[in-house]
A and B are shown apart, each in its own frame.
Chain A
C-alpha cells in the first residue's frame, strides 16, 4: 500500500512493559508521522520526523519516544506501557500525490495495541 508497512499489526502486552512499533517506508519520503486513534478524538499526533535523527513532539507525546536512525524506519516506543495507551496507532508518510501533485499523507494499515 504505497510502500508503507507497520509492524506488529496486533500486540497485547501488560502494564509496565516496553513496546516498540515500527513503521517502514520504501518511498524515501522525508516526513513520517505517528498518530493514535481514539473514540471521540479522531486522530491525534504523537510525534513526527522531518529527517534522519530529526523529530518533534505532537499533541500527545507524553509517555512516547521515537527514533529515526535511517530514512525508511520510524520507531515509536512506549517505555512503560499503560492501559491508557491502548489504541490503534497509525503511521503516515508525507509525499507528493501522483494524482494531484499535492503533498499528502499516506497512512499505514494501523497497529492495534492492547495494554492489560
Chain B
C-alpha cells in the first residue's frame, strides 16, 4: 500500500487569506498525482492530474506544484473564499489504474 500523507489534517483560514497544504509520497516509482476537492454532502471532483516533475497547474485561484524527486505536491489557494471550504484529497500513484487517496486536508474558511 502506497504511503500517502497529507498535512495538515485540518486547517482554519480567514476569508481573504491565502493558504497551502501538502501531499507527501514515496518518490520512487511515481506515475501520476491527482488532486480532488470534496465538499460536504457532495461527491469528490477532480482538480488536477500531474505527471511531470516541476509541473504546475492552475484553476482560478487554486494552483498546484509537483516535485517527484523529493516526493511532494503543494496545493495553493489564493484569497480564500467560503466556497473553498472542503476536503482536499490527493492520490499519488506508481500506477495509473489503482488510485488510492490520502486522508485529506479539511479546509475551513472563516468569515
Residues of A participating in the B interface, judged by any CB pair closer than 8 Å: 1, 31, 33, 35, 40-45, 48, 50, 56, 58-59, 90, 94, 97, 100, 102-110
Contact = CB atoms under 8 A, between A and B. Distances in A.
Nearest to A33: B99
B90 to A, nearest CB: 10
Interface residues of B, number: 21
- Main secondary structure on B side of the interface with A: loop
- Main secondary structure on A side of the interface with B: strand
A109 B96 CA distance: 23
Contacts of A102: 46, 48-49
Given A102-B49, A103-B96, A108 B43 contact: yes
Nearest to A38: B103
B44 A105 contact: yes
Contacts, number: 61
B25 interface: no
B63 to A, nearest CB: 14
Nearest to A106: B46
A50 B104 CA distance: 25
Interface in B1-18: 1
B69 to A, nearest CB: 22
